[in-house]
Chains A and B, each alone.
Chain A
């Protein structure tokens, strides 16, 4: 079975500070990993996706994530937070034999001026 754990239901940062959202996964086969962002009253938008091509994945809006197999982690980072980054972020895992994504419970990012 696959699972995803997102540590911290809420993360608060100041504008300009580093953003770090944590994701740990469990998978018995090589995983595909995703980060999605959800703005209020909207659907999910893909930020980035890991498919084993490269361990450091760059996404939209300045976000990136690093796949660390030894730590079973796929943490999302952004060097400098912007007010527009305030949203809910979801980490998800899938694999070639398991098309439905398993999502974490989400982390709400709050950005203060």
Chain B
């Protein structure tokens, strides 16, 4: 079946603009994750959604970052007033459940964000 998809694949924006990144998880997966991959920082967890539970936002680096998941499926990560340090690859992953075992997370290809 189809894997995790993300759009856009690349995004160039100017400092101070807002951006929205989209993630379509694998159909039927109840858990969805956002990670950020920066040069020199490795992969950092940002936010985790599980079903209808309140999301775990503990990894969001500032209040300029927010995410939502509509209808338990598609998720949008929004970065407001972008800064140059926000330049990174934003990876989305989904798994079949995350409420009692550690299921494999399947990753999308990522959105490469460049803030000028």
Which parts of B89-116 form the interface with A (CB within 8 Å)?
91, 93, 98, 100-102, 104-110
Smallest Cβ-Cβ distance to A103: which chain B residue: B43
Residues of A contacting B56 with CB < 8 Å? 99-100
Q: 1/0 per position for A44-66, CB-CB distance to B under 8 A?
A: 11100101000000000000000
Q: How far, in Å, is A52 (CB) from chain B's closest CB?
A: 10
B59 at the A interface (CB under 8 A): yes
User: Number of residue pairs across A and B with beta carbons under 8 Å?
Assistant: 52
Smallest Cβ-Cβ distance to A90: which chain B residue: B43
Residues of A contacting B101 with CB < 8 Å? 51, 96
Q: How many residues of B contact A (CB 8 A)?
A: 24
Which parts of A60-113 form the interface with B (CB within 8 Å)?
90, 92, 94-96, 99-106
B50 at the A interface (CB under 8 A): yes
Q: How many residues of A contact B (CB 8 A)?
A: 24
- How far is B43's CA from A36's CA once the two chains are assembled, in angstroms? 12
B65 at the A interface (CB under 8 A): no
Residues of A within 8 A of B (CB): 32, 34, 36, 41-46, 49, 51, 90, 92, 94-96, 99-106
